[in-house]
Amino acid sequence: MTDTAPTLNGIVETALYVDELARARAFYEGVMGLRPMLLGDRLAAYPVGPNSVLLLFRKGLTDQPLDTPGGTIPPHGGDGSLHYAFAISADHVDGWLARFAGHGIAIESVVSWPKGARSIYVRDPDGHLVELVTPGLWDNY
């Protein structure tokens, strides 16, 4: 047995839990410009970049196992104000600030980081903290 873990290649899915799927969809599709690749009564799935998916689940509909033809999805859920970040180009910061203003979305904060990155923080309709961040925040981004 080796003590070295096999390589992780990235994060494929990020899940948020929302009270009203239609309201959340209006924000993520209308404001953020995402287009769903899967819609259902319990979830909406959005591609974000080449290898990531944002999942929106209706609260209370994932607390039981879900049997599928390929196997069972274990129960899961999340409460409270969660945080995640979208990667954006540095030359798109002003465009996002203008887009949020045009949609009446309050900017909670704009941060300039020591390595040169900038972050824009807004809230989605369920109170989740949405960050848009340019390269230079982390050693690997």
- The verdict on residue 70 lying in a domain is no
For residue 7, tell me if it sits in a domain: no
Q: Give the pLDDT band (50/70/90) at residue 1.
A: low
Q: Is residue 34 part of a domain?
A: yes
**CA 77 to CA 81: how far, in whole Å?**
13
Confidence of residue 7 (pLDDT cuts 50, 70, 90): confident
Q: Can you give the CATH number for the domain in which 20 is found?
A: 3.10.180.10
Cα–Cα distance, 29 to 21 (Å, whole number):
12
Domain span holding position 46: 13-62+81-133
- Mean pLDDT along residues 104-129: 97
Residue closest to 60 by CA, chosen among 17, 120, 122: 17
Residue 6 lies in a domain: no
Whole-number Å distance between alpha carbons of 20 and 37: 19
Residue 123 domain flag: yes
- Write out pLDDT tens, residues 37-79: 999 999 999 999 999 999 999 999 999 999 999 999 999 999 8
**Confidence grade of residue 21 (pLDDT, cut at 50, 70, 90):** very high
Is residue 111 in some structural domain? yes
The reply to whether 85 falls in a domain is yes
Q: How far apart are CA 120 and CA 111, in angstroms?
A: 7
Least confident residue range of 7-11, 14-18, 95-99, 113-117: 7-11
The count of domains in the chain is 1
pTM here? 0.92
Does residue 87 fall inside a structural domain? yes
Distance from chain centroid for Cα 114: 24
Summarised one tens digit per residue, pLDDT across range 93-111 is 999 999 999 999 999 999 9
Could you tell me which residues are beta bridge partners of residue 55? 15, 45
Supply the pLDDT for residue 28: 98
In whole angstroms, give the CA distance from residue 95 to residue 86. Answer: 14
Residue 120: how many other CB atoms lie within 10 Å: 22
